[in-house]
Homo-oligomer: A and B are copies of this chain.
Amino acid sequence: MKYIEKLRNSGLRPTKQRLQICEVLFNTEKTFHFTINELEKKIKDRANNKISLATIYNTVHAFEKKGYLKQIPINSNQTYFDTNITDHHHFYDLKEEKLIDLENSDVGPINIKRKINGKKIKSVEVLVKLED
């Protein structure tokens, strides 16, 4: 299994639940956006055994803390995550409630001129809301 080392190196034991979740999240051509509920559904579809919802939450948060997932700031009752951990931005289609990646190259360079005393910039994220 190609995720065993990745997990061990992160100090996470490679359990069969985590490995299954890795398969669903990372063994794909393209990156994608998801909510916990969508992920739960994907897992059910893929494997026949079920992983408890608590474990899915635990794992997603563990992966996020390790930097393998990002949370996307968006106004929704559910939290959105992203398997694309590169610096990039998003369109948010308000009608479809769907996120679309916006590569850095699709947005001009962003220069934050103001500084806040004693604080460092950790990330700069652009959200472009779309309507019809």
Copies in the complex: 2
Q: Per-residue CB proximity of A118-132 to B under 8 Å, as 1/0?
A: 111111111111111
* Segment from A30-38, A39-47, A51-59, A67-75 that makes contact with B: A67-75
**A3–B27 Cα gap in the complex (Å)?**
57
Chain B hits for A91, CB < 8 A: 114, 116, 119
Q: How many angstroms between the C-alpha atoms of A120 and B29 in the bound complex?
A: 29
A80-116 CB contact bits vs B (8 Å, 1 = yes)?
0000000000010110000010110111111111101
A10: which B residues are within 8 A, CB to CB? none
CA distance A83 to B72 in the complex (A): 23
Question: With A73-B75, A75-B73 in contact, do A113 and B120 touch (Cβ < 8 Å)?
Answer: no
**What 9 pairs across the A-B complex have the smallest Cβ distances?**
A119-B130, A106-B114, A108-B111, A122-B129, A122-B131, A123-B129, A73-B75, A125-B127, A73-B74
Query: What residues of chain A have their CB less than 8 Å away from a CB belonging to chain B?
Result: 71-75, 79, 91, 93-94, 100, 102-103, 105-114, 116, 118-132
